[in-house]
Amino acid sequence: MLGTYVLVVAGPGSIILSSTLGLPSLETLFIVAATFGGTVALVILAIGRISGAHINPAITIGSTLAGSFDSELALPYVVFQIAGAIMAGIFLRVCLGAIEPFAYLGSTKLALGTTTIQGIVLEIIGTCVLTLSALVASSYVKTPSKQALLVGGTLAVLILFIGPLTGASFNPARSLGPSLFSGYFTDQFVYYIGPVSGAVVAGLTFRQVRSSIGNGLE
């Protein structure tokens, strides 16, 4: 809950502040990508050894389907992730809501010209890649700093490429908090369908590949 809260405050908060400062779009993109990626990396370093640093319901779903996470903990984790996102949404509303109302608390939005189908597909692809990076990090990378670099770096790069088109959510909780308390609900289903679908694909794919590798070594 705390990790998700920090992510949903820091990431959308960087969008609000960048909008307030009137920074160029490219500069804003780099700041937002660095903020999201850096926050994820720091959360992994801070609480990864305690909870696995699950601050994204999609990652939890993908990890559960991959067989890398205790299925009995999946629902409680998702509930507390959503609670963290709601707390973050309240914080953004109270503390930053009046600064730049047209930023809608950093809500994820489809770019002009991007259709809902395109948005869903892009969110599926991005979440799939992000989930696979998290699964590889938790399964094969033993050093926390390298895990943080892999997952945080992957998220930052994905935001640079997909952010201008969909806002690069890849995380239902990240979209829920700002949307819920800004009243911005346009196309928000994209950020639930896409990430969950992408995580399911990644989890099942990772499980199948790991099983095939294991069978090949026997």
Task: Output the domain CATH number for residue 12.
Answer: 1.20.1080.10
Total count of domains within the chain? 1
Q: How far apart are CA 15 and CA 104, in angstroms?
A: 10
**CB of 69 closer than 8 Å to CB of 169:** no
Classify residue 141 by burial, with Cβ atoms within 10 Å: 0-12, 13-18, 19+. middle
Domain with 109, as residue range(s), is 2-217
- pLDDT of the residue at 216: 58
Give the per-residue pLDDT at 213.
80
In the numeric block, the tokens 């953004």 are attached to 92
What local confidence, expressed as pLDDT, does residue 175 receive?
A: 98
Q: Say how far apart CA 165 and CA 139 lie, in whole Å.
A: 31
Instruction: Supply the pTM of this predicted model.
Output: 0.96
pLDDT of residue 215: 62
Distance CA(21)–CA(203), nearest Å, equals 40
pLDDT, one tens digit for every residue, the chain (218 residues) = 999 999 999 999 999 999 999 889 999 999 999 999 999 999 999 999 999 999 999 999 999 999 999 999 999 999 999 999 999 999 999 999 888 888 999 999 999 999 999 999 999 999 999 999 999 999 999 999 999 999 999 999 999 999 999 999 999 999 999 999 999 999 999 999 999 999 999 999 999 999 888 665 55
- Kindly provide the b/e burial profile for residues 107-131, where b requires at least 16 CB atoms within 10 angstroms of the residue's own CB: bbbbeeebeeeebbbbbbbbbbbbb
